[in-house]
Amino acid sequence: MVWPPQHTLPARVYTIRRIDAAGGEITVDFALHDRPGPGANGAKPAEFYVLAGDEADLPGITRLLKHLSEDACCVAFIEIDSPVEQLPLIRPPGVELCWQRRA
């Protein structure tokens, strides 16, 4: 695609997670924010979400859970050092939290 020099578009850089040359597909991950931008305007809600992280990811996981719809289905795997780090996260009823103790 070639754009005339007088026209510029917002630049977005994405990392390709997987390439399926035989199937003609690529997989790219991106995050949806409160205000959609050019990269996510066509994004549709998923049927099922899987979240994974450790205690350092709790702020992001908490924010994602807060923005899920009430009928969302999700499982969140969270690795922690101690049961003290297991927090009561606000979430829709279809979200299962799986706290994993670090070995």
Note if the pTM is more than 0.85.
Answer: no
**Mean of all residue pLDDT scores within the chain:** 83
Structural domain containing residue 60: 16-101
pLDDT category of residue 45 using cuts at 50, 70 and 90: confident
Q: Which of 61, 76, 70, 65 is nearest to 93 (CA)?
A: 70
pLDDT digits (tens, 9 = 90+) for 19-33: 999 998 888 776 666
Q: Which of 84, 81, 86 is nearest to 99 (CA)?
A: 86
CATH number of the domain at 42, please. Answer: 3.40.50.80
Is the pLDDT at 100 greater than 90? The verdict is yes
Residue 10 lies in a domain: no
| Most confident stretch, 7-16, 41-50, 54-63 | 54-63
Residue 38 lies in a domain: yes
- The pLDDT of residue 86 is 92
